[in-house]
Amino acid sequence: MAKEKAKGITVKKEEDMPEWYEQVVIKGEIAEHAPVKGCMIIRPSGFTIWQNIVDFFDTKIKKMGVKNAYFPMFIPEEFFHKEAEHASGFNAEVAWIERKGEDKGRYAIRPTSETIIYDSYAKWIRSWRDLPLRMNQWCNICRWEVQDCKLFLRSREFLWQEGHCVYETEEECEKEALLYLEEYRKVAEELLAMPVIKGRKTDKEKFAGAKTTYTIETLMPDGKALQLGTSHNLGQGFAKAFGIEFLGKDEKKHLPWQNSWGISTRMVGATIMMHSDNKGLVLPPKVAPLQIVIVPILFDDTKDKVLKNCEEIVKSLKKYSVELDDREEYKPGWKFNEWEMKGVPLRIEFGPKDMENKQCVVARRDNGEKEFVKLKNLASVVDKTLDDIQKSLFNKAKKFMDDNTVEVNNWKDFEKAIKQKKIIKVPFSCDLEDEEEIKFKTKGATSRAIPLDLKPPKDKKCFFSGKPAKDWVYFAKNY
């Protein structure tokens, strides 16, 4: 096992991204492939990253009045088909279980939970006093069409949260759909150090059954876009299909407005792919399972004193997740490589000479820089360094995204930019047939987002068709 880990990553990120990514995830002990085709096993370190995302976001939504609940993973077929567009959009992805005994028909294993949740909402909502209803569940999801598991990025089963809210008015619904999207931006940028584009999906790319879909999109180092989270204004279609209605202040029956929103363990994979390097994992300190590792330099005559000092260092840094690697069967250099592979943001080295000088060596994982730090200053230096690593990772990713985002106005330049693996901003007609043809001609380029911070172009022609442009739209190939 030790020999296998010591080999490190055997391919370079810039030469073979898929193989590099899989090795980083597996050798970094984040996840591995399951014996069930298309599925993965999330190891403790990987689950801790997800748990840190959960804790960060759950705290935010609870302040917004959202309550957590749990609904069954089995959905009666008749529920699933109540909303035709929604059912059609998920047909290829649903795994079905034949009912036994007195049960008739089939159950779907949830690919998303709108239908079973809204069946309950129809029973719970009676009056305007019951609104707004804000609910969320953390659960697993099954998308059965996945055959080849790409760890975290695409698998048959994955973990996510799905929020489902109900409102009296469309104004409330729309406002909060955008508020949840903003919270997703904070998860991506503030916690995971990944820059995103906030936008709206085209009609072709929006969620099945939604009136409007909002998204946060980022650009991976191989030039492919990745959707990190979505928030949907569902309109009143699901309310109508599931008989959700309320008695208004005017004593009349009304259909409510609904939104839904979700992020998944794809966030974990995106973080790893964005920041990691050819030595292994690089993780933002705010989300890293282990933030600091202390590696003692041990010799027989000073071992006990060095370890005692290291234990004091651990105590002084107790507000962080810290581990003392006191294994004697491995040399310090081997330990350095292992902890670099696992992406620990800071490594502290401490030996007999450091003990004499009342100092230690602090090594950064993100850029490899080392510095001698007096023990009396260690806590403040660690605070500043971890904060700087977090900011540096974001700034590096932001620069990459900015450098690889281009604006074009014609098809020739668009084709060239797609071959160069750019994310491309264009004036677009938003015509469904045009969008399908663009995907076909480029072998996979799709619209990613209509940016929320830009007004529609004035007096611009569509880059593809020459028709009047309706919106600025980002295109890229994607995962």
Structure confidence by residue, pLDDT tens digits, 50-102:
999 999 999 999 999 999 999 999 999 888 878 777 767 777 788 999 877 77
The per-residue pLDDT for 104 is 76
Is 405-476 the same fold as 2-275?
no
Residues ≥6 apart with Cβ < 8 Å to 209: 83, 85, 86, 89, 114, 234, 237, 238
- Arithmetic mean of pLDDT over the chain: 95
d(CA 345, CA 350): 17
Bridge partners for 123 per DSSP: none
The per-residue pLDDT for 384 is 98
**Domain boundaries, given as residue ranges, for the chain:** 2-275, 292-392, 405-476
d(CA 369, CA 414): 40
Structure confidence by residue, pLDDT tens digits, 392-408:
999 999 999 999 999 99
d(CA 164, CA 143): 20
Report the CATH superfamily, name and number, of domain 292-392.
Anticodon-binding domain (3.40.50.800)
In which residue ranges of the chain is pLDDT below 70?
Answer: 1-6, 87
Structure confidence by residue, pLDDT tens digits, 190-209:
999 999 999 999 999 999 88
* CATH fold of the domain at 405-476: Translation Initiation Factor IF3 (3.30.110)
Q: Hey, what long-range contacts does 87-93 have (CB within 8 A, 24 or more apart)?
A: 88/208, 89/207, 89/208, 89/209, 90/208, 92/145, 93/143, 93/144, 93/145
CATH of the structural domain 2-275, one choice from 3.30.930.10, 3.40.1350.10, 1.20.120.420, 3.40.50.2020: 3.30.930.10
The per-residue pLDDT for 3 is 46
d(CA 227, CA 132): 28
Pairing of strands 133-142, 67-68: parallel
The per-residue pLDDT for 87 is 66
Instruction: Tell me if 441 sits within 8 A of 476, measured CB to CB.
Output: no
Q: Which of 9, 42, 264 is nearest to 153 (CA)?
A: 264
